[in-house]
Amino acid sequence: MILVTGGTGLLGGHLLVELTKSEDKIRAIYRSDKRIKSVEKLFQYYLGENYSDNWNKIEWFPADIVDIESVKNAFDAVKIVYHCAGFVSFSSSDFRECMKINREGTANMVNLCLHFNIEKFGYVSSVAAIGSVEGELITENCKWEKTPTTGGYSVSKYSAEKEVWRGIEEGLNAVIINPCVILGPGNWDETSLTIFKNVLKGMKFYPTGSNATVDARDVACCLIKLVKSKISNERFLCIGSNQTFQQLITEIAQQAKVNVPRKPIAKKWLILIARVIEPINRLMGRKSPLSVNTVNSAYRKLAYDNTKITDATSHSFYTLTETIENSLNAGKL
């Protein structure tokens, strides 16, 4: 039996699609029936009319990774665990929630895997848990350090990854994958996919930073290959392509046939806007579409090296053009 956490998320849904192509017994943890329906739409998109043959291989199990007793019951007969569940937010008001779900939830999973003698643990971390230096190609060996501009999400993912390394010291057979910005078919109101909604609304300006993106299909395939391999106790950056935000936004706009933003916007203006609207949204109980942390990220010039994972898996990544085309074809799920 294979156990998947975070199966209703962007990556988790794609992982389930890939796993059902070769595996028969899969148990996926969930908290919302509504989100299961979104994953079913993803199966229909990729597998067509006969998707039910794959879909019926999944046993949906209600549990919460921060409730160790509820998730403990999901470990019956489980041999392999893919831990994709996590909370992504760059708002300072969500720091405690990030730490609870990302660090505490991962600690629970690690402890349960050790208790039940799980054969292999595949953990989805993030580039946010790896050190970064602007102007240099970032590798798995770059040391993470907290700085005045380090966001709470980065702290939570670094702390979560430390729990996995602690488990490894205690005998856990694990691999860690560190994807960059993941793109693919999914909910355009959440995390990295909001960029599709914003570009289609019409963007007049763009930030001047750069970052890496990766196709959700690539992350799922690479994670499965790493878990099935004899590789253990290592982490791997999972990068599709490096590009500026201008190039990313332009590619989406051109494929969607909407206006392409032509002018850069100064960082100071976005910081000012974020400082005004973030506390307002917090008082109103809403998630802010812009935060100081997201602005800082949008102006950093970062590039990542995917040599280690391509050497280990021999995987060929989708191009940015292919990734955006696939995402737009599926639409908002």
Q: CA 84 to CA 87: how far, in whole Å?
A: 10
Domain presence at residue 268: no
- Taking the mean position of all CA atoms in its chain, how far away is CA 172? 23
What is the pLDDT, as a whole number, of residue 63? 94
Domain presence at residue 204: no
Task: Give the CATH number, domain containing residue 13.
Answer: 3.40.50.720
Report the alpha-carbon angle 243-245-248, nearest 5.
70
Q: What is the pLDDT of residues 57-101, one digit of tens each?
A: 999 999 999 999 999 999 999 999 999 999 998 887 888 999 999
Enter the DSSP assignment of 49: G
How many domains does the chain divide into?
1
Domain presence at residue 295: no
Domain presence at residue 88: yes
Q: What is the pTM of this model?
A: 0.94
**Averaged pLDDT, 145-172:** 93
Beta strand pairing call for 210-215 and 80-83: unpaired
What is the pLDDT, as a whole number, of residue 290? 76
Query: Residue 138 in contact with residue 129, Cβ under 8 Å?
Result: no
Domain presence at residue 281: no
Domain presence at residue 118: yes
Domain presence at residue 10: yes
Q: What is the pLDDT of residues 229-258, one digit of tens each?
A: 999 999 999 999 999 999 999 999 999 999
Q: Give residues with Cβ within 8 angstroms of 251, minimum separation 6.
A: 320, 321, 324
Domain that holds residue 120: 2-186+212-242+303-325
**Averaged pLDDT, 160-173:** 97
Domain presence at residue 113: yes
* In the predicted structure, residue 285 carries a pLDDT above the cut 80: no
